[in-house]
């Protein structure tokens, strides 16, 4: 088979043909022309048009490589007289209207950009970073327009930070399907409102049953306004995070209070209290007793934390509530300011915390995806704008369909 025929078949050309293939040291150049008087399609509405208005100057498209040689397609586009649209550039079976790469290359690049950084992807295909950015943004726009939108019942709303907490985004996950639904630029109530009004709309808001979020999140009003029947659940992942922060705060302030000599004794004791006593060596036991003797505040904090965690195991709402009430009273008596603060936070959000016993929703999915977003942020020193970052998040986490190659 001739190479021209082979490439024509690969590109699935019907109204076009390959006239010549030239090989240079760096490229294979594929010359394309119209096939006889075959009808061409309008680039806007894809209607078959009889009249060619004029022939434009030659354009070039990058295609996938053959072996090591990158393919370049060259063709003089026709402008057609479309009865519906007027004079329009024809539809190219191998590329999107304004793209400078073929659809096959664009999809290959988009797939790799889910695994690698945009720089890495660009290097792999011998493109520049900007071309990759354009391809990913187009793929995301296509994916958002064409993705399936089944009813959503359980969502998690969370924030992610970029540039060490200078920029915040809000991310919304479908916790049943474990997929990213939406990204908002900022973490304010106003920034998240479009998720309810635009992404979901009133009809789809009605199917929401449970909304997981952090206690500090400013989204509760939005839920009341747009999904009044949904239950707010302050999820385990965030509550435990606040609890750990309270422990850490106690530990730090105690360490500041201690003398140098005492600090040496306390070194590496952080995990000792978490171990079972019968697993400790004599040396470790001694260090633990030093800890208990010198630093009752830290020990109290650890025991409070352990006691709190029992809450997650209760099956009956009443028992879970009793446990929590008891725990909050003892935490208030503990004289540990960070814990008192934590209790006050719990008191203000009790209903959404107790909902755990009924729904037992794990936000493990959220945690995993937040880590994925963090890794996207780390590997991409090239995201100069938040728009690029948002596109990359959608691209990697929303399971969007890629454009179909014709
Ligand atoms: Zn048309």
Rounded Cα distance between 28 and 143, Å, is: 31
Output the CA 401–ligand 1 centroid distance in Å: 26
CA of 97 to the centre of ligand 1 (A): 13
Average pLDDT across the chain, whole number: 88
For residue 42, what are the β-bridge partners? 90
What is the per-residue pLDDT for 264? 64
Nearest to 234 by CA among 333, 366, 379: 366
Say how many Å lie between the CA of residue 30 and the centre of ligand 1: 27
pLDDT, mean of residues 132-160: 94
Overall average pLDDT of the 61-66 stretch: 92
Listed residue (271, 301, 302) closest to 284, CA to CA: 271
Residue 238: which residues within 8 A CB-CB, separation 6 or more? 213, 214, 215, 363
CA 121 to CA 379: how far, in whole Å?
Answer: 12
Is the pLDDT assigned to residue 230 strictly greater than 70?
yes
Residue 2 has a pLDDT of 87
pLDDT band at 263 (very low <50, low <70, confident <90, very high): low
Strand partners, 170: 159, 184
Predicted pLDDT at 341 = 95
Q: Is the pLDDT of residue 278 over 70?
A: no
Between 179 and 379, whose confidence is greater? 179
Please tell me the distance between residue 91's alpha carbon and the centre of ligand 1 in angstroms. 10
Indicate the range of 136-145, 199-208, 276-285 predicted with least confidence.
276-285
Count CA atoms closer than 13 A to 60's CA, side-chain side.
7
Task: Compute the distance from residue 162 Cα to the ligand 1 centre, in Å.
Answer: 44
Span from the CA of 43 to the centroid of ligand 1 (angstroms) = 7
Q: What is the mean pLDDT of residues 147-163?
A: 89
159-202 pLDDT tens trace: 888 766 677 899 999 998 889 999 999 888 999 999 999 999 98
- Looking at residue 292, what is its pLDDT? 65
Retrieve residue 229's tokens: 């029947």
- Residue 115: closest CA among 384, 401, 376: 376
pLDDT at 161: 82
- CA–centroid distance, residue 34 to ligand 1 (Å): 19
CB atoms near residue 377 (< 10 Å) = 19
Q: What pLDDT does residue 253 have?
A: 87
CA of 89 to the centre of ligand 1 (A): 9
**Which pair of tokens denotes residue 17?**
């043909």
Q: What pLDDT sits at residue 108?
A: 96
How far, in Å, from the CA of 250 to the mean position of ligand 1? 70
**d(CA 88, ligand 1 centre) in Å:** 7
- Distance between CA 30 and CA 27 in Å, rounded? 9
- Percentage, residues of the chain above pLDDT 70: 90
Name the maximum alpha-carbon separation found in the chain: 95
């Amino acid at each position: 088979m001739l190479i021209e025929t082979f490439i024509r078949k690969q590109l699935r050309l019907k109204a076009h043909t390959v006239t010549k293939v030239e090989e240079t040291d760096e490229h294979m150049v594929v010359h394309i022309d119209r096939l006889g008087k075959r009808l061409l399609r309008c680039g806007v509405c894809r209607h078959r048009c009889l009249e060619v208005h004029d022939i434009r100057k030659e354009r070039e498209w990058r295609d996938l490589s053959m072996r090591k040689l990158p393919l370049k397609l060259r063709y003089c586009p026709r402008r057609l007289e479309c009865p519906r649209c007027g004079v329009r550039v024809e539809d190219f079976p191998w590329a999107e209207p304004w793209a400078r790469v073929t659809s096959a290359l664009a999809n290959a690049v988009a797939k790799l950009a889910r695994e690698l950084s945009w720089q890495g992807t660009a290097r792999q295909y011998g493109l520049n970073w900007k071309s990759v950015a354009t391809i990913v943004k187009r793929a995301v726009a296509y994916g958002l327009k064409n993705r399936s939108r089944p009813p959503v019942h359980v969502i998690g709303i969370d924030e992610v930070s970029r540039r060490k907490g200078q920029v915040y985004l809000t991310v919304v996950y479908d916790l049943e399907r474990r997929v990213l639904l939406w990204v908002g630029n900022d973490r304010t109530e106003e920034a998240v409102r479009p998720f309810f009004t635009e992404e979901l709309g009133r009809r789809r808001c009605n199917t929401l049953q449970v909304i997981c979020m952090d206690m500090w999140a400013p989204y509760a009003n939005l839920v009341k306004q747009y999904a009044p029947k949904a239950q707010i659940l302050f999820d385990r992942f965030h509550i435990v995070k606040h609890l750990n922060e309270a422990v850490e705060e106690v530990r730090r302030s105690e360490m500041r209070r201690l003398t140098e000599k005492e600090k040496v004794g306390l070194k590496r004791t952080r995990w000792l209290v978490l171990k079972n006593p019968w697993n400790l060596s004599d040396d470790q036991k001694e260090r633990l007793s030093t800890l208990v003797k010198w630093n009752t505040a830290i020990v109290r904090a650890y025991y409070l934390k352990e006691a709190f965690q029992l809450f997650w195991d209760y099956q009956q709402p009443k028992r879970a509530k009793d446990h929590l009430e008891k725990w909050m009273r003892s935490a208030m008596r503990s004289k540990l300011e960070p814990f008192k603060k934590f209790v006050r936070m719990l008191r203000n959000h009790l209903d959404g915390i107790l909902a755990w016993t009924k729904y037992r929703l794990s936000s493990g999915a959220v945690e995993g995806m937040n880590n994925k977003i963090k890794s996207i942020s780390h590997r991409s020193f090239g995201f100069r704008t938040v728009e690029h970052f948002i596109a990359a998040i959608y691209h990697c986490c929303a399971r969007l369909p890629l454009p179909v190659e014709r």
